[in-house]
Structure 1
Amino acid sequence: MKKLIKYTLGYTGILGVMFAASGCSDWLEPKPLSFFTPENTFNSYEGLKTSTDMLNRDVRYFDYYPTAGSAEPCILSEYFFSEMSVNGRTDASNAPVDLVRQINPSASLTGNASQINNYWTYLYKGIKDANTILSRSKDTEMTEAQRGEIEALGCFHRAFRYYRLVHQYGDIPFIVNEVTGPRYDFYSTKREAILRYLKEDLDRTAPYLSNDVYIGMVTQAAAYHLLTKINLALGEFNDAVESANKVINDGVHQLMTQRFGVDKNDASKNVIWDLHQSDNKSLPENKECLYIVIDRYDAGSDMRSAAGLEIKRQLVPWFPASGQITTPAGEVAFVDNNQTKNPYLLEYGRGVCSLRSTWYHQNMIWTLDDTDLRHAPGNWVHVSDLKYNNPNLEGKSEWYGKNVQLYNDKGDILVKDTIRCWSGWPHYKSNVADQKASWWRGGWADWYVFRLAETYLLRAEAYTWLDNPDLAVQDLNKVRERAGARLLTADEVNISQILDERARELFYEEPRKCELTRIAYLFAKTGKADEKGRTYSMDKFTENNYFYNRIMDRTEFYNKGVKNSVGNTYTIAPHNVLWPIALKAISSNVEGHINQTPGYDGSENNVEPMDTPNE
C-alpha cells in the first residue's frame, strides 16, 4: 500500500510537518504520491478505513524490522534497557553498552547506536497519521457505526503509540489534532494526564470495534487489551480487571492448549512450538491472537528488497564465525558461510548476537521446575547443545560429533568471546524461514503484537496490586499450565513473579523496558514495597526506582566492570528508567518548551508540564 503523504521525518523535530529545518522551506510541503492525498482519500468511509491499514503496517517497521542504516530493529533497544538482555555486538564502539555515558540528548541515538531517536520519530509519525484520520473523519459522510469504527481505530493507534512514548520518555508533547503546517510552540504534557485522556478515548470507542475482522486488523479485544495496560499504568486496578475480562470472556479468544498448524503431527514438537511458528500465527484456528502484524515476502517489490525480521541474526550467538570456537585440541569447530559444510546455518541461522540474553533470561527464571516447555530441549537451544561438525575434523579428530565445550581439561577457555558466542536462545521463536538463498538471518514472517496469554498476565498483575493473590495465581497458572510448568501457589505471587512469567512467555513480543518502567511508576505511585522490602516515591523517581534495582539485582553485566572487546564497560543508572529527548527536537521548538527527561543534561531548565493536550 502506498503512503498517503510523504513527509521528511527525523528526530530534528517531533513531526516532519511541525518543525522547519534551518534554511529550508519546500521540504515542509506534502509531496503527493500518486492520487493518494488527504483531499481525495479522506472523503469516504472506504478511504479512511484503508488509511488505517497504513498504521497497522507501520507497527512492524517501528518495532521488528531493522531500520534504515541499521542492522538492528527498534525492539532491541527495549531489551538493552532491561534485565533480560544486553547488546552483544562487542566489536562495535557505538553499540549501546555504556548506557550512562552513551545515552544522552546530544548523541546520535539511531541505527546501531540504539533506536531511541528512531522510536521518537516513528511513533510521532503514526500519531500524526492517526490525528489526520480522526480530524478528517469528522466532516466525512458516514453511518454512525462507520464513524464509530473509524474513530475507534484512530484512537487505538494513537493510544498504542502514546502508551509507548510516555513509558520511554515520560512527560512529552501531547498532540491530538491534525497539524497542517510548521509549528514551533509545543509544551510537554504530564504523563498521567496523557494516559487519562487515552483511557477516556478507548473507554468510549472500543465498543465500536469488532472481533470479526481480517487478520492483521485491530480487533475489539486488542483495544480492551491496550486499555488494560493503560488502566494499570494509571493505577486503576479494578478497571484493569474489568477491561481484561472483556477480552478473556469475549467467547472468541482462548489460549491454544492443543497441537495445531504445520507441525501438529510431529511428535517431537509441542504446543509451544506450534504457537510461535510463522505459518501458524495467522491461522483462523489460532484463537489466542488478539493483534498481529502481517509480513509476507511476496507482498510486493518493496518488501522483497527489505531485510525482513532478521530475527535469527539478532538472537542467535555468533558461533559459526571461523575460529571463534575451537575444540579442546585447538581445532576450528565450525565452517562459516557454507550450509552444506555447516547445516546449523540452515537449522538455526547465522547470528551475530545483537541481543545477548543474560543469566536471568537463560537460567534464573527457569529454576521453578524442569518441565517448562518454553525452556525444553529443542525449543530452547544453547551453544553447548551443538556438536563440533567441521568436516575437516571427521575421521581425524576425536572431537568430531561431540558437544561443544567451554573449557578444556586444563581449564583453558575455548571460546574467544563468551559474550557474543556463548549463550542460549528460544529457537521456537527465532525459527523464521529465509526466503533468500544463503541468507540464514530469518526473513519475512507475521509477528504477534498482543496475545491472550498476556491478557491473563495483565489481569494477574491487577489482582496482585489489589492484594488478591488467590485470583492472581489462577491467571498465572493458566499460562503456566499450557507450558507444562509447575503450578504456583498464592504465597508465591508478587509483582516480581509476574515479571518473571512475562519474561518466560513474552520475550521479543512485549516492549520490556516500557513494561518495567510502567511497573516502576506503580511502585512509586502506590508506595508499596517490592519483593525486597524497598519502597519508592514519585518525587525521586529518576534517582531511585524499581527499574534500576531490578536490573541490578539480576544482571551479571551492568555496573559489574564487564567490558566488551573495544573497551566499553556495561553501565546503567537510575535515570535510564526513561530515555532522553534529542537535543535537536528541543532546541528547534523555539516558541514553546519541551522538557528534557530528568537526569539528563538540559533537565535543569524544565518547567511545569501541562495537564492538557497542545491545542
Structure 2
Amino acid sequence: MKNNPNNRILAIFSTVCLMAVFLTSCEEEFLDAEPQSFFTPSNALDTPDGLNSILSQAMRNLRAEYYGDGAPMITENVFSEVSVEGTTDKSGPAQDLNLLILPDANLNSANTNRIGWFWQEFYKAIKYANTVIGRLDDAEFESEAQKNDILGRALFHRAYRYYRLTQQFGDIPLILEEVTSPRLDFVSTSRETILEKIQEDLNRAVPMVSETANNGDVNRAAVQHLLTKVNLALGDFDEAIASASAVIDGGGYALMTERFGVDAGDPTKDVTWDLHQVENKSIPGNTEAILNVIDRLGYEDNGDFGGGTSIMRQAVPLWWRFINTPDGQNGMSDNPGIEIDQVLQYGRGIGRNRGTAYSTEQIWDNANNDERFKDGNWVEMEDMLYNAPSLKDAGNPYYGENLELYLPDGTPLCSDTIRNWYDFPHYKLYVDDPLAVKPSGGHGDWYVYRLAETYLLRAEAYFWKDNLAAAAADINAVRLRAKADPITAAEVNIDYILDERARELYYEENRKTELTRIAFIFAKTGKTAYNGQSYSLDNFSQKNFWYDRIMEVTDFYNIGLKTIHGDEYTMSPYHVLWPVPASAINANTQGHINQNEGYPGAESNVPPLTTIPDVD
C-alpha cells in the first residue's frame, strides 16, 4: 500500500475521527458521514478534480443550512429580533433560553435548536478547506490560474465558516492546517485575531478566484462580499466600502428592476415576486445573484436536511387548525382539492420560524407602494378565507369570508396566536412542492449572497463613517427597486439599516450573525447607539446592543409571555454568544477551549491566543 492513493484516504479518515472527538464524539453516525463520496481512488487528492471534489463537499455543507425540517437557518433567525421559535405544544424548542441553552443540552435537533450543528458542520467544512490548502503542492495543474482558483475558493470556505463562528461563539480554536493524527490540545484564539487572519486570506483570494463560476460555486464577487462583512467586523470601514464597491461597480452585477423568469408574463406579479421564485434565482438573466446554493428535484438528499426547502412548513403559520368562525365553528381545512384550496397556495405550515410583530408589522408601517408588502406578495391572516367544507355543507354564512381574529367584545377566535396567527411574505416562502399532497416547500435554489445585501453593507459602512448621504443613496437603491418611498440622510441610523435588512433579506441573511457583528462594532467603537446606550467589550456578555435591540422591538422575551404548553420566553444578554458544546471542551483533555461567559464552565477560562503560531 506504500504508493497506493488509499494511504491518503486513511490519513483523512483519521482526521474525520479526530474532528468528531473535537467537535462532538467519534460516534458511528459521524463516521458514516459520506467519507467515500470524495476521498476515493477515483478522486485522488493530487489532481485538480480530487481537490475540487472536496470543495464540492464544502459547498454541500454550506447548502445544508437552508434546507430540510428544522433547518439551521431557523436558529439564526430565532436568536434575533425577526423570529421566535413558534412550536408551542411541547417543551424543548428554543424559547426559555435561560433554562434550555446550556453547553451540555441537546444543541442539534429540529426539536430544540441547531447551535451544535453550526459548531460541528462548520468545523467539518474548515477541515475540507484545510485539506485542499495543504495538498495543493502535491497536485499538478493545467495552469497557475487553475491552481490559484482552487486555493482562493478554499480560502473563501475557511473564511466563511470562521466569520460565522466568531459571531456565533466568539473566541474559538483556530485550525489552519490539515490535521492527520488525533489531537486533544486545541486552544481558543481571540475573535479579533481570527478575523484579522481571514481578512488577510480573503484579500489574498480576491485576485485568485475567477470572476465567473458555475451555478452554486464561489466566484470573485462572493469573496469580496464576504470580505466586506469581515472588514466591517474589524472596524475597517474604508476597506468595507472599497470591497463592496468592487462588487457593486464591477463584475456585471446589477439590481433586478425589470420583470424576468417563469412568471414574467403574469401581469398580477412584479419584479419582487420574480426575484424570489426558485426557478429564477440561478438563471443567467438574474444579475443580482452573487452566490446561490443549488437544490433541484432529484438531487441527493443531504442527511437530515434533504427533501427540499421545507420552508412553507417551517415559516408559514399553522393556519389550518384552531381558528374558529365568529359563530364558534371550526373554520379551516388543510385538505387539498377542496373548493377553497389554501394548502396548495400557502403550504401546510407549522409555525416553527414564527415571525415577530417587528418583522411582520412594525417595519411595514407607512409601506405605501412597497412591493414587498403589497397584496399577493405579502399575506395578512385576514386575507385568508374560512374554507372548511363543513361550513359550506351547513350553509354557514362565514364560508368563503375573510378570517377574523376577535369578536366585537374582544374574545379571540384563535386559540394560539403564537403559532397560528401571524403575517408572512408569500413571495419569499412559496416554493412549489409537486411531490407532496400537502406541500411543505419543495426543491429550489436559495440565495446566500445577493447584490441588495451588498448595497446595505456599504450603506452600513458609510453610516459608521458618518457619511449619511451616501448611506441613504445605497439604501434607496434597494428601496426604489421595490417601489418603496426613498429616505433622507437624516433618517439613516443602525435602526433603519436593520429594518431595511429585515424587509429585504428575511430568511436570507444570517440574522443573528449580522446583529451580533453590529453589537461588537458598537462595543469596539464606543459609538452611542440610536437608543442612547453605549457599549464596551469589557462587559460584552452583560450589556450589549444585540440584547437591547431584541428587548426593544419584540414582545416575547420581555413581557413574561408563555406558550400554551406553559413555557416562558426568556433571554439574557449573555445569549449574544452561543455556548461552546460541552462535548468539545470535555474531550479536549490536553488543551483549553474557553466557554462563553454566562454558561457553566466559563469560570475556568484562560486568556485566548492573540497571535497565530507558525504552521508547518
Aligned partner of 1:55 among 54, 58, 70: 58
**Could you tell me which of 332, 335, 352 is aligned with 1:334?**
332
Q: Give the TM-score, by structure 2 length.
A: 0.93
Matched residue type, 2:207: P
Q: Could you say if the C-alpha distance between residues 260 and 131 of structure 1 is closer, same or farther in structure 2, counting changes exceeding 3 Å?
A: same
2:477 matched to which residue of 1?
A: 478
Name the residue aligned to 1:16: 20
Contact map agreement 2:335 2:438 (CA 8 A) in 1: no
Q: Which residue identity does 1:145 align to in structure 2?
A: A
Which range is displaced more, 447-456 or 78-87? 78-87
Tell me the matched-pair count.
Answer: 602
Instruction: Give secondary structure in 1 for the equivalent of 2:448.
Output: strand
Number of the residue aligned with 1:295 = 295
Residues 122 and 21 from structure 1, CA distance in 2 versus in 1: closer, same or farther, beyond 3 angstroms?
closer
Q: Alpha-carbon deviation of 1:141?
A: 2.2
Listed as ranges, the gaps of 5+ residues in structure 2 are 1-8
Q: Deviations over 1:205-249 (max 9, x none)?
A: 111112222111111000000000000000000000010111001
Deviates more, 1:426-435 or 1:363-372: 363-372
Amino acid at match of 1:477: N
Q: Secondary structure in 1 aligned to 2:138?
A: coil
Is 1:362 matched with 2:366? Answer: no
Partner of 1:76: 74
Q: In the TM superposition, what is the alpha-carbon distance from 1:177 to its structure 2 partner? A: 0.2
- Residues 21 and 584, structure 2, Cα contact 8 Å, conserved in 1: no
Secondary structure of the structure 1 residue equivalent to 2:424 = strand
Check whether the contact 1:192–1:234 (CA below 8 A) recurs between aligned residues. Answer: yes
Structure-2 separation of matches of 1:27 and 1:365: 42
CA contact (8 A) 1:7 1:27 kept: no
TM-score, length of structure 1 as denominator length: 0.94
- Give the deviation of 1:389 after TM superposition: 1.5
Distance 1:96 1:7 in 2: 34
> How far apart in 2 are the matches of 1:8 and 1:272?
48
Q: Kindly tell me: are residues 35 and 345 of structure 1, through their superposed partners in 2, closer, same or farther at Cα, counting changes over 3 Å?
A: closer
1:192 deviates by 0.5
Alpha carbons 2:22, 2:588 under 8 Å: kept: no
Give the equivalent residue in structure 1 for 2:566.
567
Match of 1:177 in 2: 177
Moved more, 349-358 or 51-60: 51-60
The 1-side partners of 2:459 and 2:181 are apart by 45
CA RMSD for the aligned pairs? 2.4
Match of 1:556 in 2: 555
The 1:26–1:571 alpha-carbon spacing in structure 2 relative to 1, beyond 3 Å, is closer
Partner amino acid for 2:572? Answer: A
Q: Structure 1 counterpart of 2:73, which letter?
A: I
Task: Look up the SS of the partner of 1:16 in the other structure.
Answer: helix
Whether the 8 Å CA contact 1:8–1:27 is kept in 2: the answer is no
CA 1:28/1:160 → structure 2, altered by over 3 Å: closer, same or farther?
same
Q: SS at the partner of 1:356?
A: strand
**Equivalent position amino acid for 1:503 in 2:** A
Is 2:23–2:119's contact at 8 Å kept on the other side of the alignment? no
Cα 1:602–1:35 shift into 2, 3 Å: closer
Q: Give the C-alpha shift of residue 8 in structure 1.
A: 9.9
Give the whole-Å Cα distance in 2 for the aligned partners of 1:302 and 1:515.
26
Q: Structure 1 residue 369: deviation in Å?
A: 3.1
Q: Indicate if the aligned counterparts of 2:523 and 2:544 stay in contact, CA closer than 8 A.
A: yes
Are the equivalent residues in 2 in contact too, given 1:7–1:30 (CA < 8 A)? Answer: no
Letter in 2 for 1:340: I
Residues 576-595 of structure 1 mapped to structure 2, 5 A cutoff:
576-595=575-594
Distance 1:160 1:237, change over 3 A: same
TM-superposed CA distance for 1:337, in Å, is: 3.7
CA spacing shift, 1:211–1:27, aligned 2, 3 Å: closer
- Matching residue of 2:495: 496
Structure 2 CA distance for aligned equivalents of residues 533 and 178 of structure 1? 47
Counterpart contact for 2:313–2:351, Cα < 8 Å: yes
Once the 2 structures are TM-superposed, how far is the Cα of residue 302 of structure 1 from its aligned partner? 7.0
What SS does the corresponding residue of 1:208 show, helix, strand or coil? coil
Q: Distance in 1 between matches of 2:349 and 2:486?
A: 34
**Could you tell me which residue of structure 2 aligns to residue 211 of structure 1?**
211
Deviates more, 1:31-40 or 1:366-375: 31-40
Change (3 A) 1:305 1:125: closer
Q: Residue 408 of structure 2 aligns with which residue?
A: 409
Please give the per-residue CA displacement for 1:32-60, whole angstroms capped at 9, x wherever unaligned: 62783389521112321233122112212
Q: Which residue of 1 aligns with 2:66?
A: 64
CA contact (8 A) 1:298 1:304 kept: no
Per the alignment, residue 537 of structure 2 pairs with 538
Q: For residues 103 and 14 of structure 1, do their structure 2 counterparts lie closer, same or farther at Cα, with a shift above 3 Å needed? A: farther
Asked whether 1:101 is paired with 2:84, we answer no
Give me the whole-angstrom Cα distance separating, in 2, the residues matched to 1:305 and 1:222.
24
Deviation at 1:583, TM superposition (A): 1.1
1:250 lines up with 2:250 in the alignment: yes
Aligned-residue identity in percent: 47
1:299 match: secondary structure: coil
Q: Deviations over 1:501-557 (max 9, x none)?
A: 100000111110010000000000000010021100010111000000000000011
Tell me what 1:347 maps to: 345
**Conserved 8 A contact 1:278-1:446:** yes
Would you say the 8 A contact 1:18–1:181 is kept in 2? Answer: no
350 and 34 in structure 1: CA distance in 2 versus 1, 3 angstrom threshold = closer
